[in-house]
């Protein structure tokens, strides 16, 4: 399957991103890799590990409703949504990435938690129903 590289504009700069996924034994490992357009080998990467449903797939890729802890509001969340990717670009820029250095964030669910989302139920081994 060919990786689909997408473009997004954030703060008057062009970025490209790609989402990769690996499945094994009910677990989905997802990587969101972002770079400045033209510098595709210098990435800001986010790694997520969630349970995987054999029929519907990974919740972060097919779309789920996540609750904001502070407000109780429910938001549609999908890593394919440009607005969500923008949040991760901004997170990277605010946490040490400048577009010309490589950086990896190994616990994307923890970052989502820091963004105010209730993500405990997304962790592998959590009962989905």
Within 14-124, residue ranges assigned H as helices are 59-62, 82-94, 108-114
Q: Which two tokens stand for residue 80?
A: 């394919």
Report domain extents, the chain: 6-122
The span from the first CA to the last CA of the chain, in angstroms, equals: 31
pLDDT digits (tens, 9 = 90+) for 102-127: 999 999 999 999 999 999 999 987 65
Instruction: Provide the whole-model pTM.
Output: 0.91
pLDDT digits (tens, 9 = 90+) for 14-63: 999 999 999 888 899 999 999 999 998 899 999 999 998 878 888 999 99
pLDDT above 90: residue 1: no
């Amino acid at each position: 399957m060919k990786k689909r590289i997408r473009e997004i504009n954030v703060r008057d700069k062009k970025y490209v991103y790609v989402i990769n996924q690996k499945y094994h034994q009910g677990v989905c490992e997802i990587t969101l890799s972002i770079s400045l357009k033209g510098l595709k080998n210098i990435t800001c990467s986010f790694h997520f590990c969630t349970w995987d449903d054999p029929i519907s797939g990974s919740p972060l890729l097919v779309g789920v409703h996540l609750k904001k802890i502070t407000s109780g509001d429910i938001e549609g969340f999908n890593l394919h949504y440009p607005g969500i990717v923008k949040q991760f670009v901004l997170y990277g820029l605010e946490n040490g990435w400048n577009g010309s250095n490589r950086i990896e964030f190994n616990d994307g669910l923890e970052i989502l938690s820091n963004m105010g989302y209730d993500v405990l139920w997304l962790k592998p081994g959590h009962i989905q129903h």
